[in-house]
Amino acid sequence: MTLHNQIQEKYDAALNSKELLFFETTKVLKEVDGLKFEITYAPSLAKKPSSDPTMEEKKKIKVNPFLPPNPALFVQDLDEHSVVLNKFCIVPHHIIVVTKEFKSQSQPLFPSDLLAAWQCMMTAFGTTPALAFYNCGPFSGASQPHKHMQILPLQGQQPQPPIKALFNQIQDRKAGQIYVMDKLPFVHVITPLDRNFIDSSTDNEELGDYLAQMFFGLLDAMFQQLRKHATPDREISYNFIMTDQFMMLVPRSRELATLVQENLQVSINSLGFAGMLLVKTPEELAALENHPDLMQVLKDVAYAWNPNADVEDPMEQ
């Protein structure tokens, strides 16, 4: 049975048994500088029962939902990872690729991690394209300390994920070259992937090494940009996005974006930098819908791009 079929069967069974909870959402599009942000409103997420904060902290320390994974949500074992369904789901068939042994969510991604994510992206949702993301470190929006990547199917009429519209504007882009996009007011780096090489590769070790080479080249370029544009005063966290066309990294200064006029704070993870924002209350939805510039919301949790910094490499587009 294919991974695609396994996910569908397991998802339907877990939904019926209520081991998996699906929350209905509505989407609002808001365009900023050629990027059509998707604001997803999931009011049911705000209604999840909460317990005493002290007990909740104890649970976070003691309970690891991935060791072992819930059998009702478990899909498949890979070499060093397991594929499981996301228990609290706003996108059907949302999967998590988690290391079998405990590893820290503050570690970078290694060849085996990237290979597992790529192979799942290519096979999990049939012909539907996918987005993989990794929230690395304490300020990234990560929900669990156990190393895990998440993969979503991408559907919709506009470029998916929305950030792809800006990626498409990079002229004469070359695989492996590292770029920055001038419409983003925060430190970031992005690189196109060599699909000809990837698609012709028949060796998993070779493919994992290639993906890791791209990732660590991007990570090095991210640190170069940070040295030019900011002076981080805390542990480095970052968000990682991978599609079948590119990889992107954004270093994080904090987890919560502050919407000053409404006195609200909104958690941002990797999906925010893909152009996909999640809100749980009417107040948060109204605040983002009415915000004059959503790029500034992202800038608030990232590191501001300094236009006076000496930009040499990566090249600006």
User: Contacts from 250-253 at CB under 8 Å and sequence distance 24+?
Assistant: 250/186, 250/187, 250/188, 250/302, 251/187, 251/222, 251/225, 251/226, 251/302, 251/303, 252/137, 252/139, 252/140, 252/141, 252/301, 252/302, 253/139, 253/301, 253/302, 253/303
- The whole-number mean pLDDT for each consecutive block of 10 residues of the chain, a chain of 317 residues, reads 95 96 93 92 73 46 82 95 95 96 95 98 95 94 90 89 96 96 95 97 96 98 92 86 98 90 86 95 91 93 84 47
Please tell me the predicted confidence (pLDDT) of residue 260. Answer: 67
pLDDT at 141: 84
The domain ranges of the chain are 3-306
Residue 237: predicted pLDDT = 94
List the Cα angle 151/265/23 in 5-degree steps: 40
CB atoms within 10 A of CB 288: 23
> How far is it, in rounded angstroms, from Cα 221 to Cα 176?
12
Class of domain 3-306: alpha beta
pLDDT at 142: 83
Could you tell me if residue 18 is left (phi over 0), alpha (psi between -120 and 50 degrees) or otherwise beta?
left
pLDDT for the residue numbered 294: 94
Q: Return the residue matching tokens 């085996």.
A: 112
Distance CA 147, CA 101 (A): 9
Sheet of strand 189-192: strand arrangement: 74-77, 81-85, 95-99, 148-153, 130-136, 237-242, 246-252, 189-192, 179-180, 315-316
Contacts of residue 184, defined as CB under 8 A and 6 or more positions apart, other chains included, come to 166, 295, 298, 305
> Residue 51's pLDDT is what?
42
